[in-house]
Amino acid sequence: MVKACGVFHKCVQNSQEAGRITNDKNHMFSRIYFTLEVKGKKYENMYVDISQPYGTDYTKEPIEVHPPQGGYSGPFNHNAFSEAVERYYRSAIGGQGTAIRFSPNTEMVMLDNIIAKDSPFEFEITG
């Protein structure tokens, strides 16, 4: 099994709306920048777009993690990578957030936040 490792560097939170009385407007769109290393080769300036579909509950629903962009195109483990991305985002923003913390009953709209927070990750690649 091959291991991939890397560092998440920052999150650009394009838009997030949470806790509205009419939950049909709840959503989140963000981009996370990272460096990935596989088999000793480093892929810098990579990013992944993440989202929360309109009308879903951020505190209870999983985050959608799109395919990573920026250079690496070999074998991958999207499920394991998605879990690492979601942990990173939720560690910065949300109920346990170190940058922006809010409770499930909070009503807010956030636009264009940049959260610079290095955080290492590692996962096994299948295939």
| CA–CA gap between residue 11 and residue 65 (Å, rounded) | 13
Q: DSSP string covering the chain, please? A: -EEEEEEEEEEEEEEEEE--SSGGG-EEEEEEEEEEEETTEEEEEEEEEEEE-TT--TTTSPPEEPPPBSS--S---HHHHHHHHHHHHHHHEETT-SSEE--TT--EEEEEEEEEEEEEEEEEEP-
**Better-scored residue on pLDDT, 112 or 11:** 11
Strand pairing partners for 51? Answer: 29, 64
How high is the pLDDT of residue 22? 55
* pLDDT at residue 126, as a whole number: 77
Over residues 85-98, mean pLDDT: 76
Confidence of residue 21 (pLDDT cuts 50, 70, 90): low
Is the pLDDT assigned to residue 23 strictly greater than 60? no
- The per-residue pLDDT for 14 is 74
Predicted model pTM: 0.82
Q: Residue 41 and residue 103: Cα distance in Å, rounded?
A: 41
